């Protein structure tokens, strides 16, 4: 069976990740390179492992997380869909099981809020891992010292963030420390509101509620799940 280590050692995938990250940096986007995809791979796997999913499903989530942004090589727009098609083709080259490829590809094709939604546990874990990676280290520091755009300002304002699972309480929590001398929390919601709603839906797929805490204030998820 193909593992995350196999993917990491494949020169084609390494080139795709490197080139897509370089393209976005030149376009002025926040960091989407090896650091980001490595974080997403690890966090997506951690989420499913902590919720008790089997080892192979955890591995598929890690692979999906590692490869989810390769579609940015072509263009930022619809990069989830183009990335899914590219990943499908390249995983077939490696001889991976077609059913597992479909799980990974559908997760990648549905990880963006413009045209995706959580369609499986792997997809849900990928969404949560991807959208939780908000931190000042992702900001694209402009060499000409122009005022950074809103995405960079918001990421610069996030001094700490952590996503954690409480299986007993059926909760997945994103906790953020936000420096309001850089920008306002409303700026965060201007670009992250739809992403947080997507995380809320993804958490539901995993049988959990989604909690968003910023500077010790809870904005989402303080009510327990109600079972019919």
Whether pLDDT at 216 is above 60: yes
Instruction: Supply the pTM of this predicted model.
Output: 0.90
Residue 171 CA to residue 87 CA, distance in Å, equals 31
Domain assignment of residue 226, yes or no: no
Residue 196 CA to residue 70 CA, distance in Å, equals 23
pLDDT of residue 29: 72
Average pLDDT over residues 184-189: 93
Domain assignment of residue 132, yes or no: yes
Average pLDDT over residues 190-203: 93
pLDDT in tens, 135-149: 887 776 655 455 567
Residue 138 CA to residue 51 CA, distance in Å, equals 28
Domain assignment of residue 24, yes or no: yes
Domain assignment of residue 228, yes or no: no
pLDDT of residue 23: 84
Domain assignment of residue 128, yes or no: yes
Total domain count for the chain?
Answer: 1
Do 199 and 131 contact (CB within 8 A), yes or no?
yes
pLDDT in tens, 60-75: 999 999 999 999 888 8
Whether pLDDT at 223 is above 60: no
Domain assignment of residue 170, yes or no: yes
Find the range with the poorest average confidence among 84-93, 94-103, 113-122, 143-152: 143-152
CATH code assigned at 106: 1.10.3210
pLDDT of residue 228: 40
Domain assignment of residue 156, yes or no: yes
Domain assignment of residue 141, yes or no: yes
Tokens of 127: 């969404």
Residue 38 CA to residue 63 CA, distance in Å, equals 10
Tokens of 11: 């020169």
| Residues spanned by the domain of 189 | 4-220
């Amino acid at each position: 069976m193909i593992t995350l280590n196999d993917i990491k050692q494949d020169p084609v995938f390494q080139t795709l990740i490197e080139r897509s990250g370089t393209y976005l940096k030149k376009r002025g986007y926040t960091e989407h390179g090896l650091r980001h995809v490595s974080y997403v791979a690890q966090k997506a796997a951690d989420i499913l492992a902590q919720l008790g999913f089997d080892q192979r499903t955890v591995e598929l989530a890690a692979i999906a997380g590692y490869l989810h942004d390769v579609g940015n090589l072509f263009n930022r727009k619809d990069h989830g869909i183009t990335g899914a098609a590219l990943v499908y083709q390249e995983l077939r080259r490696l001889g991976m099981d077609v059913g597992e490829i479909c799980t990974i590809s559908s997760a990648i094709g549905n990880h963006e809020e413009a045209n995706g939604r959580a369609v499986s546990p792997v997809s849900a874990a990928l969404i949560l891992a991807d959208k939780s990676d908000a931190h000042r280290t992702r900001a694209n520091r402009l060499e000409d010292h122009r005022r950074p755009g809103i995405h960079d300002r918001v990421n610069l304002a996030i001094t700490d963030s952590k996503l954690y699972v409480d299986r007993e309480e059926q909760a997945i929590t994103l906790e953020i420390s936000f420096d309001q001398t850089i920008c306002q929390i409303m700026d965060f919601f201007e670009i992250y509101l739809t992403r947080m709603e997507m995380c809320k839906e993804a958490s539901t797929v995993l049988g959990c509620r989604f909690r968003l805490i910023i500077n010790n204030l809870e904005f989402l998820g303080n009510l327990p799940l109600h079972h019919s």
